[in-house]
Structure 1
Amino acid sequence: MATPQSGLEPTQDASGQARRERLKTLREAALHRPVLARHLSDGFNGRWSRRQWVQASLFATIGMLVASIVPGFDGLDTVPAHVQRQSMALTLPPLPLARTQGEQGDSWQVVQVEPGQTLGELFEQMGVPATTMYRILEQPGAKQVLTRLRPGAELGFDLPVNGKLRTFRFDRDDTHRVELSIGEDTITEQVTERPSHVRTVVASGEISSSLYASARKAGLSPAAIATLTDEIFQYDIDFSHTQKGDRFSAVYEQVWREGERIGTGEIAAATFTTGGKTYSGFRFEHDGQVGYYTADGRPLKKAFIRMPIPYARVTSGFSKARKHPVLGRTRRHDGVDYGAGTGTPIHAAGDARVKFIGWKSGYGRTIVLDHGRGYTTLYAHMSRFGKYKRGSSIKQGTVIGYVGSSGLATGPHLHYEFRINGVHRNPLTVTMPPAEPLKGAALAAFQAQTAPALARIRQVEQIMYAKVASAEKAKPAKADSKA
């Protein structure tokens, strides 16, 4: 057994040696084999081939896409890691010494009354008990003001840090402020006057669509517009027929307080230009009566108004003979009938005393007014009277009764008669007696008072309408048709 084994050893050693040599040769060849990069770089002459440019562009595009897509994954929800939090106390600014000690002057809170808000709701909102409110209302004059508060009114509450009302403030009127210092047992009142001043201004405008719209745009209040139409110029101008281009001006006073306009006064002077004619009116007090006068001192208020019912329609005129709608026979109609609905107010045609009031046969409910100097007026077929009796003094324009159909009437209307010394006259055409003009010292005082106002109106109108006047002067004159 030993001999054969010893005989194979030389052969195995020779084959193993050969394998080792072969492996060594392959390893040496692999180590010295050129790689792709070296192969590509071999023979590089400083310029890239077309294939190299294509590969480089492809790699660059892929890199840009990866760079733009990868950051988008940053917003993916991740489970928040537990972070330990710590709190830190910050030092706040110290309260003013006056506030900490509750001193007056550093704790006022001013609130405005909202529409529909009551005084009790305001006190509850401020945390003030109702018992304190009732104590305030018991003060002289406080209840009359505080229970009639209008939206926008301001109330002041002096509430220190302890929350107990110390002082309450409100405005008694436009110029007086009341402060109530509230103690445990008593309340002390202090009234201070709020300074105000008056400015005299001129409002002027030209009608473009309507008088009301143009006057409001010029700054006049609705009350001032009513004064123009219903008091100053009601006898001379028919405002239902005003037209585009008519002009108006008014001098009036404004009351200012602390930079805020709190009210307006009466119109001191006014002008109205229509149909090429200018009317003027100036406010003046004479013998205890305030009225408006023309520039020469004649009252604008006429002795009578022609229509006891403004803007009413005439249903039957003044006639010597007509067929009575109820009796059916021909008879005189010594007045004018105005058709209006039942309950329409009837106004006194002039200043007068009540001569008769009551039922007057076919006239029904009737009032007869005596205006003096032989003038009387009659108002018939009323539904009811005003609160007057025989001998009562009545001013022009006062409502003396209401339209009805009492007596011999087929429907609701007013029968109106105008008499001079007992003779019936047509109230639509009769010449009304002129009012007495100012004379002597009264006229001199009137002219001295009204001259500055008239000068201001002329100054404003010259500035506002200078361009219009220049354009009118530049128009060529019309040739005479007879030439």
Structure 2
Amino acid sequence: MIKLLPTKHLLLISGISALLAIVLIALPDEETIDNNLISLEANFEVIDQSQLMLQDLQKLTPKSSTIPLTTFSPNNTNSTYDIPAPDALVKKSSPATFKEQSVEVKSGDSLSKLLANEGISAQDIYKVSLADKKQKTLLQMRPGQTINFTTNEASGELTQLTLILNRLDSVTFERNDDKFNRTEASRTPEVVQAYKEAEINNSLFVDGLRSGIDQPLLIELANIFGWDIDFALDIRKGDSLSMLYEEKYLDGEKIGHGNIIAAQFINNGRTYQAIRYQTEKGANYYTPDGLAMRKAFIRTPVDFTRISSKFNPNRLHPIFKTSRPHRGVDYAAASGTPVKAAGDGKISFAGKQNGYGNVVIIDHGKGYQTLYAHLKGFSKGTKRGARVQQGNIIAYVGQTGWATGPHLHYEFRINGTHKNPVTVKLPNDDPMPKNDLKNYLPYAKQVVATLSNSHSPSFAQKLASLKE
């Protein structure tokens, strides 16, 4: 007799049978598997890291030094990860920073001393000096000048140095790899025409300065008219002067003056005019008619304090107390004061001569001759046969020979005849070439008109009274 299984066992067997049936139905056969393979294709591109742009690296750089852990999800197929850029690459790509500094040159300073105090290496100082080896501008720095320089903050290297010579000129040394290149720069100031006038009641310099005329301009004015006017002896109260000249401006600020364009001087009732003009021989001053203001001779060949003895054919000699002609002028001056050649010429005598003591005689040609006596000594090169130019120092004031005090005895001779050096009419210098004169005359007329239109009413009235 067959023994029946319990009900629980029958239910368990039925469930297992049903599960196996489901599994057999759900599993595909081998052919189906082969026909449902998924094809994947990946393309890889090799990228050169050096071609990466900095901004691309920065996009990949994590915002914090720690990467948060995230739960991996099989379905999260779009996850991305940041890759940090190497520190060395970021540092190398950063722009360099520079530091600009400035120092003033003081007495006793040198380039090496100034730059070494500012932390510049000896190698960089040497390289800059090497670029200036020929010109030696850096060796000739003067107190008050300024040095501007720039350094690389990261490396400390000197990259640029500029020496400011003055308001207009500078020299710059700029680094190029391992050496420096030298360049010069000059700024051009704005030149403006200006006008000044003055009336003399004391002296040229006192009244000129009081009228706002700079001292260098007054010195230039005295040089222009110095062949016609002795500013130590000829000046009279009420004399007047006027001038057109150049003023220089930089960035709206006056930095100095240029040349005197034209000038006029009223001396003891006589009027003198001078106009500056450039020729092939250089710039000189001429009268409105084209005659040179420069004369063949200087009126006074020494800076003196007073005339101790005038030209006098019947003078009483101070030592012998007899009537002896004084054929020259005695200019009292301190012993050792330089004596200048009155004009171009050739020394015909240099030595001792009776009561004149040490003497120099110069032949100027065309019958002109000058003599200088009682000299302390001769300058280097002063000897017979030597050629001299107007203004050259030939000797020094002394008291040799028959002299009661230090002074220069000066004689002026024309064809052997003694003339009064103070009043003799001096010959003009070489005339202006004809080709230049043709262009000069209309220019001079225009300049004279500009000068006249600039006169004050009182100055114009004084000129008008002299013409009456």
- The alignment's TM-score, normalised by the length of structure 1, stands at 0.64
Q: Which residue of 2 aligns with 1:393?
A: 387
Letter of the aligned partner of 2:265 in structure 1? F
Q: Which runs of 5+ in 1 are unaligned?
A: 1-96, 473-483
1:410 aligns with 2:404: yes
Matched, 1:133 2:125: yes
Instruction: Tell me the distance in 2 between the aligned counterparts of 1:331 and 1:239.
Output: 27
1:335, distance to aligned residue in structure 2 (A): 2.6
Contact kept, 8 Å, 2:128 with 2:180, in 1: the verdict is: no
Q: 1:100 to 1:383 in 2, by over 3 A?
A: farther
Aligned to 1:145: 137
Quote the residue 2:350 is aligned against: 357
Query: Which position in structure 2 is the counterpart of 1:303?
Result: 296
Q: Could you tell me which residue of structure 2 aligns to residue 460 of structure 1?
A: 454
Q: 1:338 to 1:141 in 2, by over 3 A?
A: same
Task: Say which is worse superposed, 325-334 or 440-449, in terms of deviation.
Answer: 325-334
> Aligned in 2, Cα 1:231/1:178: closer, same or farther, shift over 3 Å?
same
Q: Quote the residue 1:113 is aligned against.
A: 105
**What are the superposed Cα offsets for residues 33-58 of structure 1, whole Å, 9 maximum, x if unpaired?**
xxxxxxxxxxxxxxxxxxxxxxxxxx
Residues 343 and 132 from structure 1, CA distance in 2 versus in 1: closer, same or farther, beyond 3 angstroms?
same
Alignment of 1:70-89 (within 5 A): none
> What amino acid is the match of 1:155?
I
Change in 2 beyond 3 A, CA 1:429/1:161: closer
Query: C-alpha deviations, 1:271-290, integer Å up to 9, x for none?
Result: 23456654321122456254
Q: Which has the larger radius of gyration?
A: 1
1:441 match: secondary structure: helix
How many residue pairs get matched?
Answer: 369
Q: In terms of mean alpha carbon deviation, does 418-427 or 450-459 score higher?
A: 450-459
Which structure 2 segments of 5+ residues have no match?
A: 1-89, 463-468
Letter of the structure 2 residue corresponding to residue 224 of structure 1? L
Distance 1:125 1:217 in 2: 46
Q: Give the % identical residues.
A: 31
Give 1:156's aligned residue: 148
Residue 246 (structure 1) aligns with: 240
Q: Retained in 1: the 8 A contact 2:335–2:398?
A: yes
- Cα contact 1:229–1:239 (8 A) shared by 2: no
Matched, 1:202 2:161: no
* Cα offsets for 1:124-171 (capped at 9, x unmatched): 342223443233223235772122223442322111223332222235
In structure 2, give the amino acid aligned to 1:158.
T
Structure 1 counterpart of 2:96, from 103, 111, 114: 103
Superposition deviation, residue 249 in structure 1: 1.8
Distance 1:343 1:98, change over 3 A: farther
Q: Which moved more, 1:241-250 or 1:412-421?
A: 241-250
In 2, the alpha carbon distance for the partners of 1:245 and 1:136 equals 57
> The residue matched to 1:296 in structure 2 has which SS?
coil
Q: Which residue of 2 aligns with 1:187?
A: 179
Cα–Cα, structure 1 residues 200 and 456, in superposed 2: closer, same or farther, change >3 Å? farther
Q: Distance in 2 between matches of 1:426 and 1:440?
A: 33
Amino acid of the residue matched to residue 396 of structure 2? Y
What is residue 273 of structure 2 aligned with on the other side? 280
Q: 1:380–1:226: structure 2 CA closer, same or farther, 3 Å change rule?
A: same
* Alpha-carbon shift at residue 216 of structure 1 (Å): 5.0
Q: 1:102 to 1:220 in 2, by over 3 A?
A: farther
Distance 1:281 1:160, change over 3 A: same
Report the aligned-residue RMSD: 3.8
Which residue of structure 1 aligns with residue 163 of structure 2? Answer: 170
Give the aligned partner of residue 419 of structure 1: 413
Give the counterpart letter for 1:251 in structure 2: Y
Distance between the aligned counterparts of 2:319 and 2:207, measured in 1? 48
Is residue 2:310 matched to residue 1:317? yes
3-state DSSP class of the match of 2:131? Answer: coil
- Aligned partner of 1:342 among 321, 335, 342: 335
Q: Tell me which protein shows more helix as a share of its residues.
A: 1
Match in the other structure for 2:359 = 366
Q: 1 CA distance for matches of 2:117 and 2:163?
A: 17
- Corresponding residue SS for 1:333: coil
- The change in CA–CA distance for 1:116 and 1:450 in structure 2 (over 3 A counts) is farther
Contact 2:132–2:182, Cα closer than 8 Å, also in 1? no
- 1:463-482 correspondence to structure 2 within 5 Å: 465-466=456-457, 468=458
Is the 1:235–1:305 Cα contact (8 Å) retained in structure 2?
Answer: no
